[in-house]
Structure 1
Amino acid sequence: MKKIAIGGDHAGFDYKKLIISKLTTAGYEVKDFGAYSTDSVDYPDYAHPLALGVESGEFEVGILVCGSGNGVAITANKHQGVRAALCWTPEISALARQHNNANVLCLPARFISQAEAWQIVNTFLNTDFEGGRHENRVNKIACK
């Protein structure tokens, strides 16, 4: 069973609640990093702790949700070992896993429906990294 970290800002709050409910029903272990309401907050306050949890290996994957998905993706990608991908379709989510070994999924709440968000999450969690020709490329991502 995968341990999943989830977080986001006020714009992603309702999406995050729905995703947490579906994930726990499906048997995943989920930690909610916040935000905990629709009150305006600063997304880095939630994206950084989540990214640290993925970076440390405490969580296999993370899911971040904000208005555009860009802010949380930029923030999470500041962490070594985190490969955060902004995904707005299941196909992009699959490619992020298959080709980039993405370990943090970023969703744009203001541009996709909740049903689409769940499809994207489900695809992300059920798609494996292909390795092979992509392995060398992914290994070149980290700044060492």
Structure 2
Amino acid sequence: MQDYQIHLIDPAKLSAEDLERFSSSLREVIGYIKYSKDKKRLSEFLTDNPRMLIEANAARVIKAVTNTPLDIPEGAEVIDVCKAVEEMMNESEERGELRMLVQLVRDGDLKLERAAEKAKMTVEQFEKVMENTPLQAV
């Protein structure tokens, strides 16, 4: 059996200078992993990094390791991670706002018609959303 030397990398322990030593998209993958638990630092990393247009396979690694629900279209060669994360966060905010409207209607604090208007939906569309939104635990 061959005796191979293995080098392990702990992204959390790497400094910003250490990240700069990587010249491939591995830099962005490791940086994203490093900052994935801290929204503020991750946002800074994505904003300050002009190289976040990365190969689809690198984006898949980020998605798998950090459980970030990135949308990686089939056949895509490159992914703009900044844009993908921004879209994901916007969708999350919209879902939260929609859940809040649903809860206000259920509690009787907001009329169905007004909630639908705020959500830019028809009353019928909003009713379907209400049907598909689980009751919140009190």
Same-fold call, TM > 0.5? no
How high is the TM-score relative to the length of structure 2? 0.31
How high is the TM-score relative to the length of structure 1? 0.30
- Which protein has the bigger helix share? 2
- Which protein has the bigger strand share? 1
Larger radius of gyration: 2
Higher RCO (CA-CA < 8 Å; seq separation 6+): 1
